[in-house]
A and B are shown apart, each in its own frame.
Chain A
């Protein structure tokens, strides 16, 4: 679905990406792990359009694309959920879901007066959240009244609602407790089950091993390995990440 070949990115003297490759298959949850300085976040920024690589190419569904910015990436169907969630706390769930992509009323009201179709947006939000089985009582609630896990759920649901090809999640369970993390992991599975592949960046090994279909291990600006969590021990994966174990031949 989403591929990258030979990505290079330099920041002055530092080479963050040194010919990094990347493959995301349809319908999978791919976790990306790597130590600090491995180029993990730079890789994700390139894939989400936040930065443009100096060399290399990115292919979406086999065709090369140039992602000139996060909004450009969205237009190509790649949605990203950032660590700080990018929600407006005082606004409602429905309002946040459609933020920047509001629906307008049909006819003159919509085109000339640009009146919002609040009923439709609310209805769609309710339907979509129910589909993902996110249990929040009212979509009119302000996001700030939600718990951390519920907020994460809203952000993930928003990206899943609008993504056509890929959903990228940056540390979705980082700030959450056990119960809420499980809720979010369940949600991520449901997103995949609806046909959207998910790229998951996480430091949390247990979570990674729990839901990832494959794990992309980034090291020293390159892809060190892609492993299957069922075939490898957690400690070995960490070892490849830190370099204690040599990288197996890239699959």
Chain B
């Protein structure tokens, strides 16, 4: 490598290198274009209140998607997230309403349960060495069954106020914003910083990108993986509290599509399903894209089935874009 003849970089090449890659800008651009489109199609779209509404609608899946992003970054996947979340909300609701436990203690118990499931997933993946797909498929069923049995498949209502706190709103100007939305944004910001600015964040990327290399460099892949799955469990617990606050009930049938919805958000956000690449803000954007389309198409009077069609097309575009830009590397 003695004084190699490095070709003088052409102008656009330099610019392309300075700009973040397509997989990072793509989701933001898509979200922006969608918003512009819908604001033309309906004059009720571009209001503060409508955006606050969309944020509320995505906040549960949005928080679940944080956990899912972490898991996917390590090269895994979590199919159990929705069911674990439902279990968490049933535990919180049942303890608080039927067993008269103090609401804050009930919340803590719900979180403990979801954290346990997360930790269980992590242990099964690292020590028993089962593929995450299979492990979480198993815990999905276990969590679902426990939820149904424990709740007798009945919705629990009349929840005490602390459980409903995150559904309450405060005013920013003339717009009502829910505390849950603020919590979601705060969590995204916090974990964005963790992934970007700490060694643990780098280790998570390394484990997903080349776990053997990470291991050889002295990173304990076991600790990273168990940590990630356990953290995901905690996030599902927070999501269950948000779900309870938003709907006002503990619903044992909730969260059934959350696994696919969160994976959709993660993929739309530019994170690679193979692990090691992606950013957490993308998942927020991904969740918002789905919410914006759902809201916008309803305002336009378009039938629900087209929302599903469009989501499918967007997912394929997102994955294809990721692969195409990767091939250039």
Give the B-binding residues of A (Cβ under 8 A). 70-71, 74, 82, 84-91, 95, 99-102, 104, 113-116, 118, 132-138, 141-142, 144-145, 149-150, 153, 183, 186-187
In the complex, residue of chain B having the shortest beta-carbon distance to the beta carbon of A150: B1
B199: which A residues are within 8 A, CB to CB? Answer: 102, 104, 114, 116
- Contact of B198 with A115 in the complex, beta carbons under 8 Å: yes
Q: A85 to B198: give the CA distance in the assembly, Å.
A: 24
- Contact of A99 with B202 in the complex, beta carbons under 8 Å: yes
In the complex, residue of chain A having the shortest beta-carbon distance to the beta carbon of B17: A138
Q: A74 to B215: give the CA distance in the assembly, Å.
A: 13
Q: A100 to B209: give the CA distance in the assembly, Å.
A: 14
Known pairs A115-B197, A133-B2; list 20 more (Cβ under 8 Å): A71-B218, A74-B218, A85-B213, A86-B210, A86-B212, A88-B205, A88-B276, A90-B205, A91-B202, A91-B206, A100-B214, A101-B217, A113-B198, A116-B198, A116-B199, A136-B1, A138-B17, A144-B329, A150-B1, A186-B2
- Contact of B210 with A102 in the complex, beta carbons under 8 Å: no
Q: A88-B205, A99-B206 are in contact. Are A114 and B1 (CB under 8 A)?
A: no
Q: A137 to B7: give the CA distance in the assembly, Å.
A: 10
Please provide the chain B residues from 145 to 204 with a CB less than 8 Å away from any CB of chain A in the complex: 197-200, 202-203
Q: A87 to B211: give the CA distance in the assembly, Å.
A: 10
Q: A90-B205, A100-B217, A137-B9 are in contact. Are A114 and B210 (CB under 8 A)?
A: no
Q: A89-B209, A114-B200, A116-B197 are in contact. Are A135 and B3 (CB under 8 A)?
A: yes
Q: A118 to B212: give the CA distance in the assembly, Å.
A: 24
B203: which A residues are within 8 A, CB to CB? Answer: 100
The number of residue pairs between A and B whose CB atoms lie closer than 8 Å in the complex comes to 89
Give the A-binding residues of B (Cβ under 8 A). 1-4, 6, 9, 17, 197-200, 202-203, 205-206, 209-210, 212-214, 216-219, 276-277, 329
Q: Please, could you name 10 A-B residue pairs with CB atoms under 8 Å apart, sorted by A?
A: A70-B216, A86-B216, A88-B206, A89-B210, A89-B276, A91-B209, A100-B218, A114-B200, A132-B1, A135-B2
- Contact of B277 with A90 in the complex, beta carbons under 8 Å: yes
A145: which B residues are within 8 A, CB to CB? Answer: 329
- From A70, A116, A134, A137, contact of B1 by CB (8 A): A134
B2: which A residues are within 8 A, CB to CB? Answer: 133, 135, 183, 186
Q: A145 to B203: give the CA distance in the assembly, Å.
A: 20
